[in-house]
Amino acid sequence: MLMHNPPHPGEIIKELCIEPLGLSVTEAAKALGVSRKTLSSIINGKSGISPEMAVRLSIAFNTSSESWLNQQTQYDLWQAEKHRDELQVRRLSAA
């Protein structure tokens, strides 16, 4: 079942992981081993969580990589479902 309008995982990273620790984006990016630009892009909802980033987040914040990928999938699916009526797809069935 789809979550109703799930937040982008970047929002979760910012509000539940980085801010409570009093970290700057630069400090968090350094700890994750990525560029500030990469983390900023995720936090601002412009990029998604890759499997590698999910593993990095799981190590840094003691979470599961699966939870990060699940959040990204829920967000992506919600966004795609909003455009369902625009898709040019023909229903197939057995004869």
Interval 48-95: pLDDT, tens: 999 999 999 999 999 999 999 999 999 999 999 999 999 999 999 997
Alpha carbon distances (Å) from 37 to 17, 44, 76, 84, 85: 18, 10, 21, 32, 35
| Whether the predicted pLDDT of 2 surpasses 90 | no
Total-model pTM: 0.88
Fold of 1-62: 434 Repressor (Amino-terminal Domain) (1.10.260)
The span from the CA of 80 to the CA of 87, in Å, is: 10
The residue count of the chain comes to: 95
